[in-house]
């Protein structure tokens, strides 16, 4: 730019003004082109198309649902969605892929992206971002937190979906139960939780803690990871091989087994709903769960906690504070028709 203005100064007064005018006109033309794309015009070829999606009963989806009428009015694209429990979502989507169902917008959990992408069930977003008729120039992929875009929407360096609904792991606790046991604050470390808090909070039919542990994804992604990471362990090593036998991983798994005696009977069959409900009904004093469950725990029709509910970070371990990170991206079904794929991308 400095070089360009130096050259213009050398043109003389008249030519200099003309050059400035030309430069301004070029900039205005470029700006007008950048602003030329509109959702309404991009959607015209797909007006009347109906697309289908799956949503969860969580705040982010409810917020999106309130915007759908505006999207439909602007585009003429009809959106139909079904709200189902998280625990049924993956199975329903996989059956849809395999059976040739009619779901167009795919909800992808951070732990499903590898399975969905490697089976070629998702459309790489490059198909849409490289199409000037579909590519919103205001979409700034670099504006996403890298960990979200890389973890929730990307597999093998190919991006398939955009982060939509993301959560952090937190500790929810009943401060009234803790106070009755002689504690003014929650445990800061996992060791403190096990050795100091758990024995005093476990009496009769009341328990110190609930760690959702149902066999399958919940057990590996929630139950195991919450004790592996803080101890410096992991499911896999840098070469993508099992790391469960490392000293750090073994320490985490052994810790979980010791903590089991301070959890409700049948904890191995607790999923998210059971763990949250145990805290909500006063059965347990503490849980580590997703931030998305805050509305459930503050809903008087679902929770007895009232003013006793409190929130803090997940406890620290020998390896430091290693809270869980979870969430979803929205992607396009590769088995949908070309029109539905385009309409689904515009929706996303």
Per the domain annotation, does 109 fall within a domain? Answer: yes
Same domain, 298 and 227: yes
Q: Is 131 helix (H, G, I), strand (E, B) or coil?
A: coil
Per the domain annotation, does 10 fall within a domain? Answer: no
Which residues of the chain fall below pLDDT 50? 1-23, 25-26, 28-32
Per the domain annotation, does 58 fall within a domain? Answer: yes
pLDDT at 32: 47
> What tokens were used for 300?
């008087």
Same domain, 161 and 172: no
What DSSP line would sit under 201-267, residue for residue? Answer: H-BTTBEEEE----TTHIIIIIIIHHHHGGGT--SB-TTS-B-TTSHHHHHHHHHHHHHGGGS-TTG
Same domain, 275 and 134: no
Same domain, 221 and 79: no
What DSSP line would sit under 60-87, residue for residue? Answer: HHHHHHHHHHHHHHHH--EEEEEE--HH
Q: In this structure, what CATH number is given to the domain that contains residue 57? A: 3.40.190.10
d(CA 17, CA 23): 10
Per the domain annotation, does 8 fall within a domain? Answer: no
Same domain, 253 and 293: yes
Same domain, 175 and 321: yes
Domain count, the chain: 2
Q: Domain of 295? A: 167-325
Same domain, 134 and 203: no
Beta strands in the chain (DSSP E): 50-55, 78-83, 105-109, 154-155, 158-159, 161-174, 207-210, 284-290, 309-313, 325-332
pLDDT at 324: 82
Q: What is the pLDDT of residues 94-116, one digit of tens each?
A: 999 999 888 999 999 998 999 99
pLDDT at 2: 40
pTM: 0.75
d(CA 215, CA 217): 7
Average pLDDT over the chain, rounded to an integer: 89
């Amino acid at each position: 730019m400095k070089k360009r203005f130096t050259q213009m100064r050398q043109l003389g007064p008249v030519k200099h003004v003309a050059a400035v005018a030309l430069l301004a006109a070029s900039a205005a033309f470029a700006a007008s082109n950048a602003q030329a794309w509109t959702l309404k015009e991009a959607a015209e070829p797909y007006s009347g198309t109906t697309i289908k999606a799956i949503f969860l009963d969580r705040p982010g989806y409810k917020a999106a649902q309130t915007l759908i009428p505006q999207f439909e009015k602007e585009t003429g694209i009809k959106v139909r969605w079904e709200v189902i429990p998280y625990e049924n979502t993956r199975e329903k989507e996989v059956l849809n892929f395999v059976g040739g169902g009619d779901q167009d917008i795919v909800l992808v959990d951070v732990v499903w992206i590898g399975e969905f992408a490697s089976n070629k069930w998702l459309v790489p977003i490059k198909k849409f971002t490289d199409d000037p008729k579909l590519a919103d120039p205001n979409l700034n992929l670099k504006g996403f937190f890298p960990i979200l875009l890389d973890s929730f929407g990307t597999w093998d360096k190919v991006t398939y979906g955009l982060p939509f609904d993301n959560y952090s792991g937190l500790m929810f606790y009943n401060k009234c139960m803790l106070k009755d046991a002689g504690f003014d604050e929650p445990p800061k470390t996992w060791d403190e939780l096990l050795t100091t808090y758990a024995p005093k909070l476990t009496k009769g039919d009341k328990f110190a803690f609930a760690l959702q542990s149902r066999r399958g994804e919940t057990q590996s992604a929630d139950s195991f990871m919450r004790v592996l990471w803080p101890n410096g362990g992991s499911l896999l090593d840098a070469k993508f091989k099992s790391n469960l036998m490392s000293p750090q991983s073994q320490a985490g798994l052994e810790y979980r087994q010791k903590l089991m005696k301070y959890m409700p009977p049948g904890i191995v069959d607790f999923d998210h709903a059971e763990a949250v409900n145990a805290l909500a009904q006063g059965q347990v004093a503490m849980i580590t769960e997703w931030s998305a469950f805050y509305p459930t725990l503050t809903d008087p029709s679902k929770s007895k906690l009232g003013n006793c509910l409190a929130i803090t970070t997940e406890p620290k371990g020998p390896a430091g504070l290693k809270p869980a990170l979870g969430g979803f991206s929205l992607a396009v079904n590769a088995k949908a028709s070309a029109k539905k794929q385009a309409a689904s991308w515009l929706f996303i």
